[in-house]
Amino acid sequence: EAGVAQSPRYKIIEKRQSVAFWCNPISGHATLYWYQQILGQGPKLLIQFQNNGVVDDSQLPKDRFSAERLKGVDSTLKIQPAKLEDSAVYLCASRRTGFNTEAFFGQGTRLTVV
Amino acid sequence: SQQGEEDPQALSIQEGENATMNCSYKTSINNLQWYRQNSGRGLVHLILIRSNEREKHSGRLRVTLDTSKKSSSLLITASRAADTASYFCATPLYGNNRLAFGKGNQVVVIP
């Protein structure tokens, strides 16, 4: 079974530029999460999709962050414009429907904003 | 928002020793999950314990859950250098399966 794919692995941009991250979840996983993980901290949930609908985006800074999941499969997360404090690892995870199921994570995208 | 809180935050042990870390949570759960993260990598699921279970084993891992105290513990027995990683507990919320993580335990196993 193929895992969660994310790209790019690394990205360096200047502040005020825009950036986009891509995630391909495990086939058949209806739930998709995007997390932001700042160095030394736990993952913070940014947005959760169930198929192509948003379930929870309460912690997404909507003035600069946006995400979509077209056709309930792949997802993109965009930041525009980026700030220095957006430097972090962005993790994508997917999960089968059901309460007692585990999440599978991609390797993450390490973003550095200079 | 619900979030696990691990304790202790950092642990340094000799290879072969046992490592124990704890996690507390705030509201009712239907399960609690533990994940491992090696430096610079994504999180890997270790074990899931349901709310009606009190103890669960997987290889050298032992997880306990005390719903009355809203706490869980993860024990790694006979630790190895490869166990050096950060360990996180996570709890999904009822209703929407929002998976919230704690701050994590940094475990260093010295060969």
**Which range among A25-34, B2-11, B75-84 shows the weakest confidence by mean pLDDT?**
B2-11
Decide if B50 and A4 are in contact by the 8 Å CB cutoff.
Answer: no
Residue A1 has pLDDT above 70, yes or no: no
Which of B48, B100, B102 has its CB closest to that of A45?
Answer: B100
Residue A60 has pLDDT above 80, yes or no: yes
Decide if A105 and B43 are in contact by the 8 Å CB cutoff.
Answer: yes
Question: How does DSSP classify residue B93?
Answer: P
Contacts of A104 (CB under 8 A, 6+ apart): A3, A4, A25, A26, A29, A93, A94, A95, B45
> Which residue from B102, B77, B110, B108 is spatially nearest to B7, judged by alpha carbons?
B102
In this predicted structure, what is the pLDDT of residue A16? 97
**A43 within 8 A of A28, measured Cβ to Cβ:** no
Instruction: Band the pLDDT of B8: cuts 50, 70, 90.
Output: low
Q: How far apart are alpha carbons B58 and B44 in whole angstroms?
A: 14
Q: B54 and chain A: CB distance < 8 Å anywhere? A: no
Who has greater pLDDT, B103 or B87?
B87
Decide if A105 and B40 are in contact by the 8 Å CB cutoff.
Answer: no
In this predicted structure, what is the pLDDT of residue B41? 83
pLDDT digits (tens, 9 = 90+) for A61-92: 999 999 999 888 999 999 999 999 999 999 99
pLDDT digits (tens, 9 = 90+) for A14-57: 999 999 999 999 999 999 999 999 998 899 999 999 998 999 99
